[in-house]
Amino acid sequence: MREVVFDTETTGLNAASGDRLVEIGCVELVNRVETGRTFHAYFNPERSMPPEAQAVHGLSEAFLADKPLFGDLVEDLLDFLEESPLVAHNASFDFAFLNHELSRINRPDIAPARMIDTLALSRSKFPGAKHSLDALCTRFGIDRSHRIKHGALLDAQLLAQVYIELTGGRQIGLGLADAAHGLSTAADAGDAGRAVTAPRPARPARPHAATPEELERHQAFLTKISDPLWALDQDREDLAAA
């Protein structure tokens, strides 16, 4: 199954009040395994950047001034997303901004049914714990030392690892039931797929009984050992029986 983990950066917290999308990062998963395919883009929001938002992601008006508009790259983005389920942390926030940008250029919204919210998954699995991306990385031992500021692609890559852990960890794709039948369980994932191996042929058991010649040589070897331990044990047994 193909899924896309994504994250966004914005000029603020409320798309309905005029805040805009300025960055998106997407990571492709197939059967909960990263394929290495990503999509990343910055967008000119056509408005000012509030200092408090810039403090979070470090994207300034000057940096974004020469970046493409969302509509310029929407086809590339939608081609990458396909019809796959979309995974995000606090997904309603990211979906609101993504759909707001789509509505501005008269494109249909992405259906909420495609949304998978890792924040909701975390709250269900670890009630009462901290559920930020940083907290979940710490819980699962995921290295985030290179995360100085928020960045859409970096955060999507970290979230992909968190999502894998939240949904069963790396062993989710081992397919032990299929392995019992001697079959590979690697899914067909395009370039990321692996060939299915054929069952190994059964081999007859190897003979392990000693031949008469081997037994004769072994007995001759034993007679050369002085005061063997097994002889002492036999003497004790004979005394006990007397």
188 vs 178: CA distance, rounded Å: 15
49 vs 93: CA distance, rounded Å: 18
For the residues of 126-192, what is the DSSP string, one character each?
STTS--SHHHHHHHHT---TT-SS--HHHHHHHHHHHHHHHTT-GGGG--HHHHTTT-------GGG
* Contact criterion met (CB below 8 Å) for 119 and 91: yes
* Contact criterion met (CB below 8 Å) for 8 and 90: no
> Any catalytic annotation for residue 100?
no
171 vs 32: CA distance, rounded Å: 10
Given the residues 40, 131, 150, 218, the one annotated as active site: 150
Q: Quick one: CA dihedral 4, 9, 13, 17, positive or negative?
A: negative
150 vs 87: CA distance, rounded Å: 17
Torsion, Cα of 72, 76, 79, 83 (10° steps): -60
φ/ψ region of 71 (left if φ > 0, alpha if ψ in -120 to 50, else beta) reads alpha
Residue numbers annotated as active site: 150
